[in-house]
Amino acid sequence: MPGSCSRVTLIALEECGLNYEDRRVALLGGAQQRPEYRAINWKGKVPALVVEGVVVTESPVILTYLARRQPGAGLLPATVGEAAALEGLSDLMWCSGTLHPSMTQLEVTAQVISTRLHGGGWWYGHRWSIVDAYVAWCLAVAAQVDFPIHAHPVLQDHRRRTEARPSFRSMQVRERAAIERDQLQVPSWYT
């Protein structure tokens, strides 16, 4: 699904220089709920990687597998000893278990609030309430942490460098091909 977290797996495959076949899962069309996809990943989530007939799911597991399969690709820092090697897995778990859901939650919550306030009303319609003050404060805080990335030169530079890597471009070529080939619907923020 172009723009989804499966692009991290695409980038990893590109960095490893592995041959692979990409298959679309049109999330906006609900393809992840269909029996055909549930037979691959019962959780109805992307990414899923099929390796020699075995389905591997959960980004940290897929990425750890690829890092171990192709150590020279540098997906994770080289380490000595089993305990040190777990640092990469720990960081990937944090990305998947903490960072990713908090980003997704912010997006989903903003949409819920927009729907509720649709038409320029208050939380309860025509009548202002203290709920509006609370929601407005939360949104002001969210605006501060909503990655105005231009205000963070280090993050902006990190993003620029990440997107300048050939693997990012190759991943985009794959995603765009899938969009065109399958007339995929993508979110308005998709780039």
Ligand X SMILES: N[C@@H](CCC(=O)N[C@@H](CS)C(=O)NCC(=O)O)C(=O)O
Give the nearer residue to ligand X in terms of CB position, either 42 or 134: 42
β-pair partners for 57:
48
Integer Cα distance of 34 and 44 in angstroms = 8
Interacting residues with ligand X (CB under 6 A): 4-5, 27, 32, 44-47, 58-59, 96
Between CA 108 and CA 85 the distance in angstroms is 35
Report the distance separating Cα 50 and Cα 57, nearest Å: 9
Closest approach, Cβ 95 to ligand X, in A, equals 8
Least Å distance, CB 107 to ligand X, is 11
Please name the residues in contact with 167: beta carbons below 8 A apart, sequence gap of 6 or more.
10, 11, 12, 14, 15
Which is closer to ligand X, CB of 16 or CB of 62?
Answer: 62
| Cis, peptide link before residue 166, omega less than 30° from 0 | no
For ligand X, which is the closer residue by CB, 12 or 46? Answer: 46
The runs of H, that is alpha helices, within 71-129 are 82-94, 100-116
Residue 17 gets the label, from left (phi > 0), alpha (psi -120 to 50) or beta, of left
Would you say 56 or 139 has its CB closer to ligand X?
A: 56
- Smallest separation, CB 117 to ligand X (Å): 25
Minimum distance between the CB of residue 190 and ligand X, rounded to whole angstroms?
12
Rounded-to-integer distance, Cα 69 and Cα 50, Å: 14
Residue nearer to ligand X on the CB measure, 45 or 123: 45
Distance CA 168, CA 162 (A): 7
Instruction: Please identify, using beta-carbon distances, which residue of 27 and 184 lies nearer to ligand X.
Output: 27
Task: State in angstroms the smallest separation of the CB of 62 from ligand X.
Answer: 7
Q: How far is the CB of 92 from ligand X (least distance, A)?
A: 9
Give the whole-angstrom CA distance, residue 147 versus residue 79: 32
